[in-house]
Amino acid sequence: MALDPPRRSLLAAGAAGAAALLAGCSGSRDPAAQRAQAERAAPARRLRQSAARQSAALLGRYDATTAAHPALAGPLAALRGSVAAHLRAVGGRERAGEPPSVPAVPADAVAALVAAERRTADARTRALGDAPPELARLLASLAAAGGVHVYLLGELDVAGLAPDEGGSDG
């Protein structure tokens, strides 16, 4: 059954009105409200940028560790991939920079990764109180993943790996 023209017009007007109401809820033209929203967004932006720097530094540590100890590249690949995904989740990008120093002994290099993962997870946990809800959920997830990384790195059997080529400790 076809709708008569006045009924179609009413439906179209109702849909347009609903769209206008929804659009009105998403933003305000009031300058004071816009300033307040920008002020709330600035701390969140800083927290997100800080999380991106932390993830980029952690990713750099993974890369430096696998460069110094090629035998660790395979066992660390999944964790490195996870850290790269975390970096993308907070809007960061991989960046070249001065690589961190890596201990010459593979077990010590893994211990340095454990410490870096723990520091990063702790920093993200501390940031939760200052983060808006959506970012807090992301930071909590990243901190939890960092805790899992700490556990998995602790379970890594470094002694069972083949000696590094060009051997630092052999």
pLDDT digit string, tens, across residues 17-38: 444 444 444 455 777 666 556 5
Task: Report pLDDT for 85.
Answer: 97
Task: Report pLDDT for 24.
Answer: 45
Q: Give pTM, 2 decimals.
A: 0.73
Distance (Å, whole) CA 168 – CA 170? 6
Task: Report pLDDT for 5.
Answer: 53
End-to-end, the C-alpha distance of the chain in Å comes to 83
* Lowest pLDDT segment from 39-43, 100-104, 133-137: 39-43
Task: Report pLDDT for 10.
Answer: 44
The mean pLDDT value for 63-75 works out to 97
The residue among 119, 143, 118 whose CA lies nearest residue 129 is 143
Token pair 């009413």 is at which residue? 10
pLDDT confidence bin for 138, thresholds 50/70/90: very high
Query: Do residues 131 and 139 touch, judged by C-beta distance below 8 A?
Result: yes
Task: Report pLDDT for 23.
Answer: 45
Whether pLDDT at 141 is above 60:
yes
Q: What are phi and psi of 38, to 5 degrees?
A: -65, -40
